[in-house]
Structure formats: structure tokens, C-alpha cells
Amino acid sequence: MSTSPSDAGTLLSLRGITKTFGAVAALTDVDLDVAAGEVVAVVGDNGAGKSTLVKVLSGVHAPDAGTITFEDRAVTIPSPAAAQSLGIATVFQDLALCENLNVIENLFLGRELRALRLNDVAMEVRSRELLDQLSAKIPTVRIPVAALSGGQRQTVAIARSLLGDPKIVILDEPTAALGVAQTAEVLNLIDRLRERGHGVIMISHNMADVLAVADKVAVLRLGRNNGVFDALETTSEEIVTAITGATDNAVTRRARRGRRATEAVKEADDE
């Protein structure tokens, strides 16, 4: 099940994270560990708390209870800026790119070099280096983002998150809106992030993508942990079962209903 908090190389660990919005408990007692050079997929059904977890980690929401340990220090993440200065970069699902600006301008937006006389040579060199390291297929960095494909935009957004040299990169549904080839491109990119030693948290709905690239799969169900699986040893059926709740550890009252749902999903999968 879950790894112990004292694991060697653990970069970020969450313990007992709880977040409620009024009467709605979005997260209850959630644990999560990420090591350097490890890709952890966080999966779960709609409303399982994935987005809330991302927002807690990126400083958008403060948790009501629980501890966050980053590089063996207990930390709080009160704001997005705090998350960035800690070294946690988030690529949100909507990417937050300005389509009217070119790739360089987007990469350096808000942290341009030399405010009163932009050093565009240094920025262009750095942009190209970064994109080359990611083996990104971007025709030219001086093209407006409006002219790029979905996969290329995702690449730009990920490259931008790497500019601050983060330890952890959080990707929220990185492949949700992409076609087959572009999805492969982004999965390659995630592989490269791991090779560079970043810890990666990947939120996803897509079992195939998760199993293709993740090292560990953490399942959330109704705002609670519902198992952590080794991606090499698990199957997509096992994960789907955990997502829909038909396991031994949680919400036993709903087990039967959940199993029925699982079978339905399996049938859908077989078709």
C-alpha cells in the first residue's frame, strides 16, 4: 500500500491532508509521496478530489489539516508564488498561455530578463535550450502560440514550468484534449522530466496513459486515499476497481454497488 514517510529520496510527502468547502469534504486524510525522478499518477473519478489536491499543492487552496513535508522540512504553501519559490510548478489543464504572444514571450511571461530593455537574445537562447532538452517539436520559437497544435502548446506550458528549475512538476490532465500522436509526444516529455530528475505528479483520467508513463499510481476515491499501486505490476482493471470503490479498505457499505459499476466499466473496456 502506501510507502513509509521516511523513504529515501522522498521529495514531497503529504500526511493527513484535509480540505472542506462548507459542508463538502473535498479531501479527507489524504497521504501522498513523491520522490525525485519518480512519476506519480493521481487518478480518481470526477469529484474524487484530484483537482483540490492539485490546488493545495500549487498554493491556490490552503489545507484545513495535515502536514506537507518538502525536502524533509515541514512547509506551508499559502500562495502560488510560495509554491513556485519552494520548487513546485503546476501546469494547469487550461495551460494559461497567451495565444497572441510568441513562444519566448510566453515562456518568460512575468519574469522577463531586463525589464526596461528586454534581453531577448538571452531569452531566446534559453528558450531554445529548454525546448531542445525536451526534444520539443516546435518549428520556431518566434511563432505566436495561436499557431501551435495542442501538443505543442502543452510542451510550451511544461517548458515554462521548468524555467524556475522546480523540483516537482504537477501536470493536470496533460493529455485530456490531445490526439493520439500528440499524446505520445507529451508522454515522451513526461519521461524526459523523470530522466532530468524531477518529481512528477500527473493527474489523469486515462488508464492507458497512466500505465504507460507512471511509476506509481495513487487512487483517490471520494476525497480519500484508496490505494497506491506499482504501475509495473498493476493492471488497469485493478485501478479501475479502486477508482470505483470495490476494494476491501474503504466504504464497504457501497462495495456491492461499486462492484456492479466496475463490471459495467469492464464491459465497456472490452468493447
- The residues of the shown chain that bind other proteins, judged by CB under 8 A, are 80-81, 92, 94-102, 105, 109-112, 115-118, 121-122, 124-125, 128-129, 131-132, 135, 137, 139-140, 142-144, 146-149, 152
CB of 186 to other proteins, least distance (A): 14
| Contact in structure between 10 and 33 (CB atoms under 8 Å) | yes
In this complex, which beta carbon is closest to other proteins, that of residue 88 or of residue 97? 97
Tell me the three cell numbers of residue 227: 490505494
Question: Which residue type, as a one-letter code, is found at position 157?
Answer: A
Sign of torsion over alpha carbons 195, 134, 228, 77: positive
In this complex, which beta carbon is closest to other proteins, that of residue 48 or of residue 138? 138
| H helix or E strand, kind and range, residue 208 | helix 207-213
In this complex, which beta carbon is closest to other proteins, that of residue 66 or of residue 144? 144
CB of 17 to other proteins, least distance (A): 23
CB of 144 to other proteins, least distance (A): 6
Nearest residue to 130 via CA among 99, 161, 94: 161
CB of 161 to other proteins, least distance (A): 11
CB of 157 to other proteins, least distance (A): 10
In this complex, which beta carbon is closest to other proteins, that of residue 122 or of residue 264? 122
CB of 73 to other proteins, least distance (A): 24
State the Cα–Cα distance between residues 145 and 150, nearest whole angstrom. Answer: 10
Strands 73-75 and 65-70, sheet pairing = antiparallel
Residues forming beta bridges with residue 70, ordered by sequence position = 12, 73
In this complex, which beta carbon is closest to other proteins, that of residue 146 or of residue 264? 146
In this complex, which beta carbon is closest to other proteins, that of residue 43 or of residue 148? 148
| Contact in structure between 31 and 67 (CB atoms under 8 Å) | no
The CA-atom distances, in angstroms, between 95 and each of 14, 137, 153, 176 are 25, 18, 8, 12
